[in-house]
Chains A and B, each alone.
Chain A
Amino acid sequence: MDTSKFGVLETKLRSSRAESHKILVPYITGGLTGWIDAIRYAAANGADAVEIGIPFSDPVMDGPIIQQASEKALRDGATPTSIFHELRTVDVQIPLIVMCYYNTVFRAGHERFANSLRDAGVVAAIVPDLPLEESREWCEAADKTGIETIMLAAPTAPDDRLPRVVARARGFVYAVGLLGVTGERSELASTAISMATRLKKITEVPVLVGVGVSNAQQAQQACAVADGVIQGASVVRRLLDQGPDSVGQYVAEVRAAIDNSVVS
């Protein structure tokens, strides 16, 4: 297989999959107290990549926990610049992904923002309020810079839409697990499995489920079909309440559960 056409993230995730290794991507709000340590501990305990959220004043895809984390980070003075600056000091060996709302990109300018990501050692970006139809300018700048743009696929997408979304996805496809915003739920929604199933049928790009994957057991359930999971609110809540150590413990717990799903 010619892997040179894939970016750093996608190459890594495809080879993980080839080795039957399920992919775990924790989400951490940038600028929150202890966030850099949280990235280190996540990496040390089995995360395959880390998604770093750039806090935004109006996070419409986020539920209460990540909203609260964003507001706190902003109050503490976090900016995209300060986050990129600190990211350069992170000495982990796993790919770094940034999640940010589109105005953060637009305000900076597409090319400038893509360059800032690259200079901070970031390899991929998720922009949750930039759907396919509006993504051309950003994707061009990102492609030129070698930043992989991860596209979201939602349960509301009709069958004729998904292939178009998937065709533009780099790194992985983010399967939105439910109808709703980020946050912990008591059960894994049935849409998490059905989304992963629909996507796996039509793409070779790795499929990760996020939004509403709330604990180790739910991660294991999702990994029965998906190539991996993204965990946001359950990670950020631990960072907010108990600090970075607890993020490491939690990542280890989820790692064990999803490794188990492969064996069984």
Chain B
Amino acid sequence: MTIDRTVPRELLKPGADGRFGEFGGRFVPETLVPACEELEKAFDLAWNDSLFRTELSDLLREYAGRPSILTECHNLGRQLGIRLILKREDLNHTGSHKINSVLGQGLLAKKMGKKRIIAETGAGQHGVAAATAAALLGLECKVYMGAVDVERQSLNVFRMKLLGAEVEAVNSGSRTLKDAVNEAMRDWVASVESSYYAIGSVMGPHPYPFMVRQFQSVIGQEARQQFRAICDGKDPDLVVACVGGGSNAMGIFSGFIDADTRLIGVEPAGGAAVGRGVPGVVHGMKSYLMQDEHGQVQEAHSISAGLDYPGVGPEHSYLASVGRAEYPSVNDDEVIAGFALLARSEGIIPALECAHAVAWITKEAPKIQGQTVLMNLSGRGDKDVAQMMTILGESLGK
């Protein structure tokens, strides 16, 4: 399948209004407006400063372990009748792509003279990455995490504490990622002069969606070169990634936006903001949002804490609205099967988030026979093993 040539194919840089098409913007309390403006300027300076970029790429190489490799899944590819190649963000230090963004944001926070960073986390991957960057760069770190997630991701909670971060369980609302973001924003409103809010995904008020995408674009840049090197100079037919807020997906999509490649963002069926949402405004941005007729944000339900979010980054809403990317969803059972499948066929245990991408590829395989598929394996599954033991344990004969 080829891509419709009439669809916009350039990577947008949002203008002064912080919009990707109609999506994005800066819907924050007045208290935070100057902080967002200050950050916008600071990021712009840093991103165009070769010293900052060198400092960041040195850290990404020597600390995070970049570039991450590509791994071809010969067994699973043969079984599915496709050529399946993984971008191994799971091999980064701290076990996911989140480190790419927090190293950038941590350096920026220091440049801005902030002593403390605030972060929200769902699965705990961003929280761990933020705590790691804070430890490395000598910053204080406070992580907000929904009480439900504290329970199902207890290993990551302990990791954050080991790294010196303070973790606060959030008991309001649905007690998951959405409420962790609310609480982090409340902290930020109170501490804006001394604290930097390190948002974990391509979401929030401008410039966060743009800035986090730029920090994650290293995934797509590397992947395109690496893919061409092993596939005779060709681009993949499909690039597939899971989408909650959508930072790993934007990171890899950004490298292929102008290619003849289908971009697929897989959402959880219980948190399908693009698939089931309508435009709305929460957490500082206008984007697709699961909400009721009165505008109350609905609770997402997903087996994966990292995707348990009723909204999505505004650039994804834009890509969906212009038809450049597709956003199918898979259910929890398909995810569990995908999780087990990648483990058994390739010896790679994926994060439950990435198992969404595996599940969609498996389901779609009959329709994409013989095609090349690049999947972003954005995190490793160690954090999910305890949860999966209770689900799969019996069938494995524990």
Show the binding face of A for B, using Cβ within 8 Å.
56-63, 67, 71, 74, 79-81, 102-108, 128-134, 151-158, 161, 165, 176, 179-181
Are B294 and A79 in contact (CB-based, < 8 A)? yes
Are B26 and A131 in contact (CB-based, < 8 A)? yes
**With A134-B26, A134-B27 as given contacts, are A103 and B186 in contact (CB-CB < 8 Å)?**
no
Are A155 and B297 in contact (CB-based, < 8 A)? no
The 3 lowest CB-CB distance pairs between A and B, nearest first, are A107-B295, A180-B190, A154-B31
**With A107-B293, A128-B29, A165-B30 as given contacts, are A102 and B281 in contact (CB-CB < 8 Å)?**
yes
Are A179 and B172 in contact (CB-based, < 8 A)? no
Are A129 and B27 in contact (CB-based, < 8 A)? yes
Cα–Cα distance between A107 and B34 once the two chains are bound (Å) = 27
Task: Tell which of B27, B31, B179, B190 touches A102, judged by Cβ atoms closer than 8 Å.
Answer: B27
Cα–Cα distance between A131 and B34 once the two chains are bound (Å) = 11
Task: Tell which of A71, A153, A157 touches B173, judged by Cβ atoms closer than 8 Å.
Answer: A71
Interface centre among A128, A156, A176 (most CB of B within 10 A): A156
Counting CB contacts under 8 A, is B33 at the interface?
A: yes
Chain B contact residues: over half helix, strand or loop, or mixed? mixed
Cα–Cα distance between A154 and B283 once the two chains are bound (Å) = 19
**With A58-B173, A60-B189, A156-B34 as given contacts, are A104 and B294 in contact (CB-CB < 8 Å)?**
yes
Residues in A neighbouring B26, C-beta threshold 8 A: 131, 133-134
Are A181 and B186 in contact (CB-based, < 8 A)? yes
Residues in A neighbouring B279, C-beta threshold 8 A: 106
Task: Tell which of B35, B172, B189 touches A67, judged by Cβ atoms closer than 8 Å.
Answer: B172
Cα–Cα distance between A179 and B159 once the two chains are bound (Å) = 31
Are B30 and A57 in contact (CB-based, < 8 A)? no
Residues in B neighbouring A151, C-beta threshold 8 A: 30
Are A131 and B190 in contact (CB-based, < 8 A)? no
Q: Smallest CB–CB gap between A80 and chain B, Å? A: 6
Residues in B neighbouring A180, C-beta threshold 8 A: 186, 189-190
Counting CB contacts under 8 A, is B107 at the interface?
A: no
Q: Smallest CB–CB gap between B281 and chain A, Å? A: 5
Residues in B neighbouring A129, C-beta threshold 8 A: 27-29, 281, 284
Are A71 and B294 in contact (CB-based, < 8 A)? no
Are A103 and B280 in contact (CB-based, < 8 A)? yes
Cα–Cα distance between A80 and B291 once the two chains are bound (Å) = 14
Residues in B neighbouring A154, C-beta threshold 8 A: 29-31, 33
Task: Tell which of B25, B173, B189 touches A181, judged by Cβ atoms closer than 8 Å.
Answer: B189
**Interface residues in B21-47 (C-beta closer than 8 Å to A):** 25-35
Task: Tell which of B28, B34, B291 touches A157, judged by Cβ atoms closer than 8 Å.
Answer: B34
Interface centre among A60, A128, A131, A134 (most CB of B within 10 A): A60
Cα–Cα distance between A71 and B289 once the two chains are bound (Å) = 20
Are B186 and A63 in contact (CB-based, < 8 A)? yes
Are B280 and A107 in contact (CB-based, < 8 A)? yes
Closest Cβ neighbor of A156 among chain B residues: B34
**With A67-B172, A103-B280 as given contacts, are A152 and B30 in contact (CB-CB < 8 Å)?**
yes
Are A179 and B189 in contact (CB-based, < 8 A)? yes
Residues in B neighbouring A156, C-beta threshold 8 A: 30-35, 192-193
Are B191 and A179 in contact (CB-based, < 8 A)? yes
Residues in A neighbouring B294, C-beta threshold 8 A: 79-81, 104, 107-108
Are A152 and B295 in contact (CB-based, < 8 A)? no
Would you list 9 pairs from A and B whose C-beta atoms are within 8 A, ordered by A residue? A81-B294, A102-B281, A104-B294, A106-B295, A107-B291, A133-B33, A134-B27, A154-B33, A180-B189
Residues in A neighbouring B190, C-beta threshold 8 A: 179-181
**With A102-B281, A103-B295, A161-B34 as given contacts, are A131 and B27 in contact (CB-CB < 8 Å)?**
yes
Counting CB contacts under 8 A, is B102 at the interface?
A: no
Cα–Cα distance between A254 and B26 once the two chains are bound (Å) = 36
Counting CB contacts under 8 A, is B225 at the interface?
A: no
Residues in B neighbouring A179, C-beta threshold 8 A: 31, 189-193
Are A57 and B297 in contact (CB-based, < 8 A)? yes
Are A60 and B30 in contact (CB-based, < 8 A)? no
Counting CB contacts under 8 A, is B296 at the interface?
A: yes
Closest Cβ neighbor of A59 among chain B residues: B182
Cα–Cα distance between A103 and B295 once the two chains are bound (Å) = 6
Cα–Cα distance between A133 and B17 once the two chains are bound (Å) = 8
Are A106 and B281 in contact (CB-based, < 8 A)? yes
**With A58-B173, A179-B189, A181-B186 as given contacts, are A104 and B28 in contact (CB-CB < 8 Å)?**
no
Residues in A neighbouring B295, C-beta threshold 8 A: 56, 80, 103-108
Residues in A neighbouring B293, C-beta threshold 8 A: 107
Q: Smallest CB–CB gap between B210 and chain A, Å? A: 16
Cα–Cα distance between A233 and B48 once the two chains are bound (Å) = 45
Q: Smallest CB–CB gap between A158 and chain B, Å? A: 6
Interface centre among B25, B172, B179, B298 (most CB of A within 10 A): B172
Residues in B neighbouring A81, C-beta threshold 8 A: 294
Residues in B neighbouring A67, C-beta threshold 8 A: 172
**Interface residues in B197-227 (C-beta closer than 8 Å to A):** none
